[in-house]
Structure 1
Amino acid sequence: MPERPLEGVLDWLAVELPAVRDVEIGTGGYAPAAHCDRERLLADDGLRRDWLVSIESRDFRLAALNVSGNPLEQPEHDRALRETIALAGLLGVERVVCMSGGRPELSGGAWFPGVEDDVERYWTERVLPYWRELAASGVLLCFELEPGAAAFNVSTVERLLELGPGLAVNLDPSHFFWQSIDPLAAIRRLAGRIGFAHAKDTVVDPERLAVDGRLDRTAWRYATAGHGRGADWWRDFGEELRRAGYDGVVSVEYEDPQVPAEASVAEAAQVLTQALAEEVVR
């Protein structure tokens, strides 16, 4: 809701969705940053304090900052990530949602001879050294797994998780659905390393899928939680998260081109409130 000031969004949530008490705010990268002027907040102690008070005085908790982007290949995204980590430390926010970054042509499969060698070289020279440094940042960096990034599924992110306990997964099932990955199986495999979770659905066009496959973006779209799978599936999602040791926030992510933001957030929050146990819903 970039057209509204942060206070306006929080006041809307308090009236329309009183069960929601935690917020995740974008700070840059691909994430919209309409409600967080990262550079000004870093530079001004008083402004930063007032910004946090505007959230907490309304009985909301700042659960995470989101700076999903491509820090390996875009210098401005690298700067946004590092500044967001610094800002999180100053604000007392324990989690930063991000992406591993990478080169899309080296993500998602080796189609031509030599590509597998290029992938391994890129991981050795760029991916692992970069995240080995940031693994000791002092905040929990939670990777969103999406093709195009170096870490896009369970096996690829496990290579990063080996670098240390400062790295975790942001479990967003929407990216798994269109890859034919079972999100519940992924949760079980990643038990103990899930640091955050998103609630977003995916709707597949079966006619388009039949002729163009899942790699073609026109065969599927992101959707409001509940539009692709009903409350029973989201209940299973919550139960698997609990069994995997995660009892934190499930954050509603808006990315539905067919539903306005307010309606999408409200509908998703209602589905999740009904489907998930109180200790999981935020």
Structure 2
Amino acid sequence: MKLGVFTVLYSKKPLPEMLDHVAAKGIEAVEIGTGGYPGNAHCPIDELLADDAKLREYEREFSSRGLIISAFSCHGNPLHPNKQIAAEAHETFMKTLELAHRLGVPVVNTFSGCPGDSEDAKYPNWPVAPWPNEFQEVLAWQWENKVIPYWREAGREAEKRRVKIGIELHGGFSVHTPATLMRLRKAVGEVIGANFDPSHMWWQGIDPVQAVLYLGKAGAIHHFHAKDTSLDVNNINIHGVTDMQPYSNMLDRAWQFRTVGYGHDMKVWADMISALRLVGYDYVISIEHEDGLMSIEEGFTKAVQNLQPILMKEPIGDMWWV
């Protein structure tokens, strides 16, 4: 396994400075935003696709520092009922697939998207209850008419370029649980897998260690985000886990994102790393910093310090004792 970081936390640093900084911390892999919600501060994607010399120079920025690009990330909503928003997300996704292909980056991370409730909708509609029955009808319409058709075509484009699609399981989008990920994978194929982020499992009441085992047995984990979540039982009893308060209202929220080790102890994280190895995931553990109680530098540094002792880097070898 390699320790990585999703570099959007350092979007204000120029690419060379950012790479020097994370490499000095012991990072071996970087996940780069190409547009959408993460932005593209470290990836002028149009320039790179238009100029092969710039593309090769860009590639050397990483290789000269002993770094790999674990994934390109362009999280957006290509299923948005607003056609302009959907088109922009789709265009960014397609450009990112092509960039990944040209640079040999194996994974593009994104969201599944979420459609509206009809062709005339203005906003996404995320059904989360089976009754009243209209919610079931909306859900069926979304999957049959939007989610599966879009990702079948997108999956074909990714396969042409030998790139895997890492869908982040995230509330507010059609794919947000292990079961919905596997539903999409069954319909589209093995090109679809998870960009597995345990922080989104915890607030939904899902044990991420068990989710890793479930998805990993099917070979359905393409990438991994290292981010924690703390749960406030008292506030959950008031607001529930679908708490709509702003993330900045940390004192009253039911849950909040934390850096690794500040929501769950390191035994839980060690169990998760062990589960990943058990199911054959031997790729990058990419730190994502979204901790409202820590500065960027402190949150990132503590995540590195907490993860380094529990990562498993050496080949397993033979079981000499049996």
Alignment counterpart, residue 21 of structure 2, candidates 2, 12, 28: 12
Alignment-derived partner of residue 242 in structure 1: 277
1:82 & 1:101 partners in 2: Cα distance? Answer: 15
Q: Which residue identity lines up with residue 248 of structure 1 in the other structure?
A: Y
Q: Which residue identity lines up with residue 270 of structure 2 in the other structure?
A: R
Alignment-derived partner of residue 131 in structure 1: 151
TM-score w.r.t. length of structure 1: 0.94
1:128 & 1:186 partners in 2: Cα distance? Answer: 22
Query: Number of aligned pairs?
Result: 278
Task: Kindly provide the CA deviation profile for residues 81-106 of structure 1, in whole angstroms up to 9, marking residues without a partner as x.
Answer: 11101111111111111111014523
Alignment-derived partner of residue 160 in structure 1: 184
Using the TM superposition, give the Cα deviation of residue 29 of structure 1 relative to its aligned residue in structure 2, in angstroms. Answer: 1.3
Alignment-derived partner of residue 188 in structure 1: 213
Instruction: Determine if the alignment matches structure 1 residue 32 to structure 2 residue 67.
Output: no
1:134 & 1:51 partners in 2: Cα distance? Answer: 26
Alignment-derived partner of residue 120 in structure 2: none
Alignment counterpart, residue 113 of structure 2, candidates 87, 101, 122: 101
2:167 & 2:106 partners in 1: Cα distance? Answer: 14
- Match runs of 1:224-235 below 5 Å: 224-235=259-270
Flag structure 1 segments of 5+ consecutive residues without an equivalent: none
2:104 & 2:279 partners in 1: Cα distance? Answer: 25
2:127 & 2:22 partners in 1: Cα distance? Answer: 38
Q: Secondary structure at the match of 2:308?
A: helix
Using the TM superposition, give the Cα deviation of residue 265 of structure 1 relative to its aligned residue in structure 2, in angstroms. Answer: 1.2
Give the % identical residues. Answer: 36
Task: Kindly provide the CA deviation profile for residues 159-215 of structure 1, in whole angstroms up to 9, marking residues without a partner as x.
Answer: 111111211111110000000001111111112111111100011222211211111
Q: Which residue identity lines up with residue 171 of structure 1 in the other structure?
A: F
Using the TM superposition, give the Cα deviation of residue 267 of structure 1 relative to its aligned residue in structure 2, in angstroms. Answer: 0.8
- Match runs of 1:37-48 below 5 Å: 37-48=44-55
Using the TM superposition, give the Cα deviation of residue 279 of structure 1 relative to its aligned residue in structure 2, in angstroms. Answer: 4.8
Using the TM superposition, give the Cα deviation of residue 260 of structure 1 relative to its aligned residue in structure 2, in angstroms. Answer: 1.5
Alignment-derived partner of residue 92 in structure 1: 104
1:148 & 1:88 partners in 2: Cα distance? Answer: 27
Deviates more, 1:172-181 or 1:48-57: 48-57
Q: Which residue identity lines up with residue 226 of structure 2 in the other structure?
A: A
Contact residue 33 and residue 40 of structure 2 kept, 8 A: yes
Using the TM superposition, give the Cα deviation of residue 7 of structure 1 relative to its aligned residue in structure 2, in angstroms. Answer: 0.8
1:239 & 1:245 partners in 2: Cα distance? Answer: 10
Higher relative contact order (CA 8 A, sep 6+): 2
Instruction: Determine if the alignment matches structure 1 residue 63 to structure 2 residue 70.
Output: yes
Using the TM superposition, give the Cα deviation of residue 117 of structure 1 relative to its aligned residue in structure 2, in angstroms. Answer: 1.1
Alignment counterpart, residue 216 of structure 1, candidates 243, 257, 269: 243
Contact residue 234 and residue 276 of structure 1 kept, 8 A: no
Q: Secondary structure at the match of 1:274?
A: coil
CA pair 107-266 structure 1, distance change in 2 beyond 3 A: farther
Q: Secondary structure at the match of 2:309?
A: helix
